[in-house]
Amino acid sequence: MARLAKPFRAKEALEETLIPEGIYPAVISDSTIRVGQDGEEEIVVVQMDLSTSADDVRSVWEWLGINSASEAARSISCKNLADLMAAIGMDVLTDTEDLISKKCRVRVSVQKSEKYGARNRYNFLPPANDNGALASASPQM
């Protein structure tokens, strides 16, 4: 057994790595489908690179169980995927690779929970145009 020099406190470490609340430009860098533990659930895993400053890009992941056995989880996941698709101007998704390289903005918030500690939550917004104004996202098929 190897002993740590000092105790590692997971909740403290997670709080130190949180992205501050705000709206950040993002690019989808990867998207895959994972199979849930029951062997039936499809989980769309979207990796996004958020530009948190001029010299800092943070990768974050959104896991979307779009056909989860849990009605609440399925409802939240479907809404979040629909919001992401609207933000990037996509109406129909048949292949997760179609998400890669799409740009949007992500509103990051911090959700605090006694059970899980503090963690980031993401809401998707259309990208801003070159003037900083909201760009209109027209649906793509």
For residue range 87-141, what is the model confidence (pLDDT) as tens digits? 999 999 999 999 999 999 999 999 998 888 888 999 999 887 654 444 444 333 3
Q: What is the rounded average pLDDT of the residues 7-18?
A: 75
Q: Quote the domain boundaries for residue 114.
A: 19-125
Q: What are phi and psi for residue 12, nearest 5 degrees?
A: -65, -40
Q: Which two three-digit tokens encode residue 34?
A: 């994972």
CA distance 134 to 127: 6
CA distance 82 to 112: 25
57 pairs with which residues across the strands? 51
Match 């993401």 to its residue by tokens.
Answer: 122
Confidence of residue 76 (pLDDT cuts 50, 70, 90): very high
Q: Please report whether residue 23 resides in a domain.
A: yes
CA distance 53 to 40: 40
pLDDT at residue 32, rounded to an integer: 95
Mean pLDDT for the chain? 86
Q: Please report whether residue 13 resides in a domain.
A: no
- In terms of Cα–Cα distance, which of 126, 121, 124, 133 is closest to 21? 121
Q: Please report whether residue 9 resides in a domain.
A: no
Total count of domains within the chain: 1
What pTM does this model have? 0.77
pLDDT at residue 136, rounded to an integer: 42
